Structure 1
Amino acid sequence: MNGREAAVLRGGLAFLAVAHVAVGLWQLLAPHSFFGVLWVNTLPPYNEHLMRDLGSMVLGQAVLMAAAAHALEPRLVSVALAVELTFAVPHLVFHSGHSGQLAAWETLILLGLLGMAVLLPAWLLWLSARVRTARPAPRP
């Protein structure tokens, strides 16, 4: 992996880690505030327990992303991005069919953000796989 590819991959993983820390801490420490976000509160009821559990889980994803960004070990990177997509794809699919009482423009923004939450890890996974297959085979 050349320096540019490593920097892009590390930067993408670090971005995901920081985003998860921000969202996870918000969900864990101020669940009612997070639930008050326009895109979240259209599908009640509010459940503090589930909001805090989700925040804790998102922080766990942050730890995994940070470890992958730090180590850049191919299997860890692949697993971290697979975990990310395991959440992001169903999240996008759900919101594609359940926009609550959102206006059309609000739905477009929400689905655009959730789409990026799928495209970024998918692209990073593709990049990491491309980088791995581009390596020359070790000599015996």
Structure 2
Amino acid sequence: MFGGMKITGGSFGTDGYAYVKGDAFDIRSSRKQLYPLTSIARVDARTESQKNFGCFSFVIGAVIFGFILNVVIPGIGFILGIIIAAALSFYTTKKQIVEVSFSDGMRVVIQCSSGQVRRLVSLPLTKSIGR
């Protein structure tokens, strides 16, 4: 069993969790469904990256770098400290996203860990998707 994969979209809504239990794919959201693993027609995986700015790290960095550089380079050191803190306050978050399509045409988009992605893409697939 592996599970606790957050549902983020698809035919079952945007909330809930998906689990793989034995030989079944269990979807628990606003619409509950239990699929045998043999009904999985397609598994597509991707990584989504998002760049963010950390306000807290900027303030702390500006104070620390500004103080240190102002001691080393009086006057302009504080301004350089703010610039360095701003440049270092950007960070990237990555999410592993998997879209699972079933032989009946239904699909679910889930957020997973890297290990869950490896297990999902290694599941046996059916030959075609019925629409």
TM-score, normalised relative to structure 2: 0.29
- Larger Rg computed on CA atoms: 2
TM-score, normalised relative to structure 1: 0.28
